[in-house]
Amino acid sequence: MQTDVYMTTLKDRGYRLTGKRREILDFLLRNNRYVTARELIDHLRESYPTLSLETVYRNLKTLRDEGIIEESRFDELEAHYRMACQNGHHHHYICVMCGKTIMLDHCPMPAVGCAPSGFTVLQHRFEVLGYCSDCQSTSESSKEKRD
């Protein structure tokens, strides 16, 4: 989907169409990986020098709450964001270094088994965190140089 489709969706849901939202969506669509709010603000400050981190987080929260982007946490420090997948039910391997995602080819939920008595599952999410082949080789090369 292109940025205009997402912007129309936001307009239809009663949101204002701002340049900042458009640029956030453009950036996420172009990068096709998980990014941090700090990466976004560094990019956006070229066009909006006085932009605050709070404005970026507010826009990210709106886009997340509307199901346009996904949020994930690889650690306790910082949330990461990417465009929401349009592929239906699936799960990801996620590189914690570059944010690249690779779809799992099956759902691991059946292996988990039945939910405990009295518990109703509304949704589930599996994320397998690690290093993609590019980052793993980069990380190993950096380690060899230090040794």
Annotated binding site for Fe cation: 89, 124
- Rounded (10°) angle between helices 53-65 and 19-31: 70
Alpha helix stretches (DSSP H) within the chain: 3-12, 19-31, 37-44, 53-65, 109-112, 133-146
Task: State residue 4 phi and psi, 5-degree precision.
Answer: -60, -35
Residue ranges for the known binding site are 89, 95, 98, 124, 132, 135
User: Which residue's structure tokens are 């405990």?
Assistant: 116
- Under 8 Å CB-to-CB from 34, ≥6 apart: which residues? 72, 74, 80, 81, 82, 94, 99, 101
Half-sphere exposure of 41 toward its Cβ, with a 13 Å CA cutoff? 15
Residue ranges for the known binding site for Zn(2+) are 95, 98, 132, 135
